[in-house]
Amino acid sequence: MSNKMWGGRFGESPDAIMEEINVSIDVDQHLYAQDIAASKAHAAMLASQGIITANDAKNIAAGLDTILSEIGKGSFTFKRALEDIHMNVESRLGELIGPAAGRLHTARSRNDQVATDFRLYVRDTIDDIDHALVAYQRALVDRALEHADTVMPGFTHLQTAQPVTFGHHLMAYVEMASRDRGRFADARKRLNESPLGAAALAGTSFPIDRDATASALGFDRPMANSLDAVSDRDFVLETLSAASIASVHLSRFAEEIVIWTSPLVGLVRLSDKFTTGSSIMPQKRNPDAAELVRAKTGRIIGSLTALLIVMKGLPLAYQKDMQEDKQGAMEAFAALSLAVKAMTGMVLDLVPEEARMKVAAGEGYATATDLADWLVRELKMPFRDAHHVTGRIVAKASEGGIALHKLPLGDMQAIEPRITAGVFDVLSVQASVESRKSYGGTAPDNVRAQAKAWLKRLEKEQNSG
């Protein structure tokens, strides 16, 4: 008894273990919409080129629409014995329209099919992720405008460094998300070439029109080399790279939320919507959403690493190893999408403890740089000298356990006689943030201007999209 899929070359069915390791339908059934769209474009092209009849193409298209509806309604039965989405669709098409279904595979291979389907899937995924990132940016910008004047500590080495505003801190993540969107857009642009028509690896002798199928599927052009078309997975790697970087940005913010919500720090609060309790400790409020965003980053980066390792040793052209390109990538993209939405929800939910933030912003002699800058500006002191003098003044304040802005003028003048009472104008945290007016600085007016500019940009994108 010959194998139904491989025809006369194979005389018996595969071993059960071979069937189990070879099957991919559990994963690639998620490509059904893309597979059917590509098949419809291919059938229409074959008819246009006179390779199959117009009537066969019409019946194929109608049958494919029926299958699309069946899968959408959940009434389609996926058969693991048929391995993948392509053979499942083709088998059902044969049941619906008879022998004409066998003409659909003319001038193509499962190699260019899967490459086409997956490119379409990744392209759709990029668009979905971009929409999620826009919503995330909008949430950040809205909260930044709300808190353009809210003072908080800025950190380096996780130590209090200089006062900033909460709005300024949030706007940093707007910029990161913008670069993430740019990377996804770049990946989308490069992947938007059609492999369809490359067939198994060498092209086809049939007079196909690859430009027509590329255009029908929204690709910019057909891929120029048939070997490259069926064996390239750069488009997945590049998109996973963008996803990994985006997830790192989310994880950094998630880590901050975990730290800030700790009672030991107490800079922000999250509501019951984005926290959980403990099964044994009634008082607990855990930032589990943030922690899970942080954890999903490892899964996303892991998917990128796994596929890089799969691809690194593969000669041209298609190899069965490439079947492992989908599951990890699909899981990574789903994890990123969920993480973006979770972070968006937390941004809208979090409540800054403004009084605590302002106190913390002044701890650790955070306005010491403002003192050094005053010495440079008012006393024309070289900055390195001003840095040294300021360090001695901070040491004096620290010895007495006194805040810098409360250190007596006489104590400062004992270190640098030319210091005047005017120095106290720059030593408050409010004065510090208001003075940082350089482009990109934390001054509240800067934050408002940047946030408003971003609102206009996002609105323009929405209207043009």
**Rounded Cα distance, 6 and 12, in Å:** 10
Report the 10 Å Cβ neighbour count for 385: 14
Considering the candidates 157, 205, 279, 438, report the single residue annotated as catalytic. 157
Q: Which residues, 6+ apart, have CB-to-CB distance to 247 below 8 Å?
A: 296, 297, 300, 301, 335, 336, 339
Is 157 a known active-site residue?
A: yes
State whether residue 344 is helix, strand or coil.
helix
Looking at the DSSP bridge assignments, the partners of residue 258 are none
On the CB side of 72, how many CA atoms lie within 13 Å of its CA? 9
Residue 317 has phi, psi (to 5 degrees) of -110, -110
Is 169 a known active-site residue?
A: no
Considering the candidates 2, 262, 271, 278, report the single residue annotated as catalytic. 278
Residue 205 has phi, psi (to 5 degrees) of -85, -10
Reduced 3-state DSSP string for 149-201: CCEEEEEECCEEEEEEEHHHHHHHHHHHHHHHHHHHHHHHHHHCEECCCCCCC
Residue 154 has phi, psi (to 5 degrees) of -95, 145
**Rounded Cα distance, 76 and 63, in Å:** 13
Nearest to 216, CA basis, from 55, 84, 56, 34: 34
First to last CA, the chain: 56
Residue 419 is given by DSSP the state: -
Residue numbers annotated as active site: 157, 278
